[in-house]
Amino acid sequence: MNRLFHNILVWLCLVTVCSCSSGNSSSENNGGGNSGGTTVTAKPRYIWIDAAANFSEFANSKDNIRRDLTKAKEAGFTDVVVDVRPTMGDVLFKSSYVDQVTKLDYWASDGSYKFFQRTATWDYLQAFIDIGHELGLKVDAAINTFVGGNLYPYGLGEQGMVFRDENKKSWVTTLNIRKGLTNEMDLTTTDPTDAYYYGTKFLNPCNDEVQQFVLNLIGDLCQYKIDALFLDRCRFDDLQSDFSDETKQKFLSYIGKSSINFPADIMDPGTTSAPSSQSPYFKDWLAFRAKTIYDFVGKVVAKVRSINSNIKVGAYVGAWYSTYYQVGVNWASPNYKVQSFYPQWANADYAKYGFANKLDFLLLGAYASTDAVYGSTEWTMQGFCKLAKDVLKGDVKFAGGPDVGNATGFEKGGQETAVTNSVDACINAGDGYFVFDMVHVRQFNYWNALKIGIDKYLNSIK
């Protein structure tokens, strides 16, 4: 009897413990519960920190970094994405392959456009890692991938390795513009309204030396205890890029030809979108470009995995898939039948080079206007995310979200309702939420608007 009584007591205790452990939880780490008792893991929330735009706040002040990372944490973000290679191509982490950033362009509070000078010597990226991890945030690093220098407007000047080293001109992309094949370094106008203004000098993704250079930078970056690496501008500059001799030879090898009428057999000079009447190799060219980026993303993943398999690998892309072929990127699942939906520019091979299944996560710029938060089509925030889910086919999780400073209607602030609603529209249509950029959140004080939206989401999954 004593043993039986003891066993009954043990059984009752186990039932009690199990009942307690199945209750709803609001813990971020363990996920919230729902009314059915099933554990729900909260989706991640990312805030982007552009290097140049935030440089005047963070370059010389760890206190300012702590201030804004604390606000991000309190608003409910899980990840900060720190841009550590701005478009001028130097870096904000330790590397033996390129110079450290010492100054970046920004718009001052008095409305002037100028440089901010960094005088601090502490490690910029390491400061974000130390402070962010202390606060319980994940700290992800982002790099502008195929860039090498900036020619600034309004007389500010130029900087970057392609301006310091004349031998690097061969790394810079060659454009098929109306005036003929032209290296971007030969386009020197500083007027942003000029059709030939190419302020950011892009590197040629088809150049083997360029690829190795970027992989070397990534190798140095992976020495840090970052949680993820995101590739930004891992693309061609535009549809007119790249038409260098090196790219020509690689394309000929791709199509198995010894020669073609180049570039006329691909597209007319100055072509900026898929023409109705196309040259014979136009679609092959687009597939070749997509394959170039696809192959490089694979090299990045292999590089990161070989150094630190705990670092996730992702990319930032624009959500406007219907026209993203213009920059040579297929961010879809290889199972997405691109040609069926976009026969004007995709051939049967294009789908092969969808890189979604190579990545751990994707950040999606759903940069619609303030009056287009909800919807089901491109150029609505919600629609961008809904369409992305179909394009990605579950191959990779993604977080979409708005540009709350530059997109139409956001320019002057005062859009708290749109900001709050953007969380609901995007996080429920995808696998997370993403907002660009911290500078705008700070400028227009959108912290509370974001917190309201994030809290609403978190409460919905309890």
* DSSP structure string for 155-193: TTEEESHHHH-GGGGGGB-EEEETTEEEEGGG-----TT
pLDDT of residue 227: 98
Mean pLDDT of the 10-29 span = 36
Give the residue-averaged pLDDT of 23-50. Answer: 66
User: What is the tens place of the pLDDT at every residue in 239-292?
Assistant: 999 999 999 999 999 999 999 999 999 999 999 999 999 999 999 999 999 999
pLDDT at 38: 65
pLDDT given for residue 109 in this prediction = 85
Q: Is the pTM of this model over 0.85?
A: yes
Give pLDDT, residue 405: 98
Q: How many CA atoms lie within 13 A of 378 on its CB side?
A: 9
pLDDT score for 217: 98
pLDDT above 70 as % of the chain: 92
Residues 6+ apart with CB under 8 A from 14: none
Give, as one character, the DSSP assignment of residue 273: S
Output b/e per residue, 254-278; b: 16+ Cβ within 10 A. beeeeebebbebbbebebeebeeeb
Amino acid 33 reads: G
pLDDT of residue 11 exceeding 90, the answer is: no
pLDDT for the residue 166: 96
pLDDT for the residue 337? 97
Whether the bond between 194 and the residue before it is cis, its omega within 30 degrees of 0, is no
Q: How far is CA 54 from CA 50, 150, 159, in A?
A: 6, 17, 18
Please report the domains of the chain, with CATH numbers, ordered by start residue.
Answer: 43-359 (3.20.20)
Q: Which amino acid is at 64?
A: N
pLDDT at 170 over 80: yes
Question: Based on C-alpha coordinates, what's the Rg of the chain?
Answer: 24
